[in-house]
Structure 1
């Protein structure tokens, strides 16, 4: 798998560590991959940065990926 180096804020790093420490993810890489999958899905649906979806029946609202990831995390915790 290709390696990519990114810079994140201390708050983001703490959130990633917390997700792993709580047992929701096996590693920080798993958290980041999940976030990127959500971002890619949002981008394809046109939800990223408030873009209008090509298919008007698709969910929209211009929610940021961080909000979507937080919702996903909450759902993940409820189903665990």
Structure 2
């Protein structure tokens, strides 16, 4: 499997650690792979904005009607916990 190095925020790192510590995932890599699968599925369904630069610059118009991956992942995790 190819290795990729990315930089994440301390909050993102804490979220990954919490997901592993909760026992829902065996490793941080599993958490990231799941997040990427959700992102890819949402992107294919057209649920994500195609202008991340505008969102990062504070232009909320690019985000209207779309959801960020963190929101979708949080929903997915909550649903997963409800069924455990």
Task: Give the corresponding residue for 2:48.
Answer: 48
Match of 2:49, SS state, is helix
Task: Give the corresponding residue for 1:8.
Answer: 8
Is residue 67 of structure 2 the alignment partner of residue 63 of structure 1? yes
Is residue 69 of structure 2 the alignment partner of residue 76 of structure 1? no
Unaligned runs of 5+ in 1: 52-60
TM-score (norm 2): 0.80
Unaligned runs of 5+ in 2: 52-64
Q: State the aligned residue count.
A: 71
Task: Give the corresponding residue for 2:37.
Answer: 37
Two-structure CA RMSD over aligned residues (Å): 1.4
TM-score (norm 1): 0.84
- Aligned CA distance change for structure 1 residues 18 and 67 (closer, same or farther; 3 Å): same
